Amino acid sequence: MPAADGRTPARRAAPTPCEAKPFMLRFIIRRSLQMIPTLLAVVLIIFVIFSVVPGSFISSLMAEGRNVMNAEVLAHLNEQFGLDKPLPVRLWDYLWGLAHFDLGISYRTREPVWNVIEPRLWPSIKLALTAMAFAAAVGIPLGFLAALKPGSVFDTGTMMLAVSGLSVPEFWLGLLLMYVFALQLGLLPSFGYQPGSIRHIILPAIALGVSPMALLARTTRAGVLDVMNADFVRTARAKGLSEPRLVRAHVTRNVLVLVLTTLGLQIGSLMGQAIVIEKLFSWPGIGSLLVDSVATRDIPVVQGTVIVIVLWFLVINMLVDVAYAAIDPRIKVT
């Protein structure tokens, strides 16, 4: 926010890099340690939820109603995965493993959980980052331009687009994109994943990025309008600063913190939000893995996946906090 004397905060004396480094390191270490209780709470919640909800991994094996399974086999599976043990023992075993960076064994694939999650990680990150890049590249300029001409046709049109973007169901939007760009225009593949292929990521990234794009456009517009009406901007204008310079030097920097906050929250949550899009486009990400694992009650994979999603959210937010300090020297990371 602007300083009381009307000077832009950007001009205040910033800490030198040497001063900032120990603070930053301390901040990162402290925030990393703070993640531990959050992760523990998440693990406990998942454990409790899946111990009370009906259905089990064993019953999921019979869910198709097709293959009859031998009762002996089912009993041995229960034993093999420790499902016959009391809940507190299972929880302790899991936490003990976790303390040793062991996420356990997947009930379904009988592989270490990390082996199941790892191939899904990069496609998910790639999709989330591409979707966010699209959202930022379109949403921020749109919001900025709309705010510079409030009440204009462009402003109204942009905000209508933003509201539509926020309200349109992702599944429907994805299908629409498939129909137009794959089936009618034949420009892009309608589904699938090819490592290194840009063509395959365009449609799912747009479908996933439209909602954050709309949110960014609205947030940016609101932020810019707020700053444009601030005292320090009025003072700068009175001093004869040209409009382009005013926007570039004073407005942009002050809006960035707000934009960055929205951006960070959106990137953090996109990995979890991508479930529908991943399913629709056969994108091999964390989201579709989570859904499949919940449906089959593959609890170790559910827990591992949720831990990864929560970690991603926490790390992104920590990075955003660090970025605040770089953008706005008034904000200190302590």
Burial of 285 (0-12, 13-18, 19+ CB in 10 A): buried
Residue among 215 and 308 whose Cβ is closer to other proteins:
308
Burial of 31 (0-12, 13-18, 19+ CB in 10 A): middle
Considering only residues 267 to 286 of the shown chain, the ones binding other proteins according to CB under 8 A are 278-285
Here's the x/- map for other proteins, 177-216, by CB under 8 A: it reads as: -xx--xx--x--xxxxx-x---------------------
Which of 129, 163, 168, 133 has its CA nearest to residue 146? 163
Q: How many residues sit close enough to other proteins to count as binding (CB under 8 A)?
A: 57
Considering only residues 38 to 57 of the shown chain, the ones binding other proteins according to CB under 8 A are 54-57
Q: How far is the CB of 275 from other proteins (least distance, A)?
A: 10
Work out which of 4, 36, 52, 68 binds other proteins, going by CB under 8 A. 68
Our finding on whether 175 is near other proteins (CB under 8 A) is: yes
**For residues 122 and 214, what is the distance between their CA atoms, to the nearest angstrom?**
25
User: Strand, helix or coil at 105?
Assistant: strand
Work out which of 1, 25, 44, 62 binds other proteins, going by CB under 8 A. 62
Work out which of 41, 48, 49, 73 binds other proteins, going by CB under 8 A. 73
Q: CA-CA distances (angstroms) from residue 70 to 102, 134, 255?
A: 31, 51, 64
CA atoms within 13 A on the CB side of 209: 23
* Residues found near other proteins in the complex (CB under 8 A): 54-57, 59-74, 76-77, 80, 108-111, 116, 119-120, 123, 175, 178-179, 182-183, 186, 189-193, 195, 278-285, 288-289, 292, 295-297
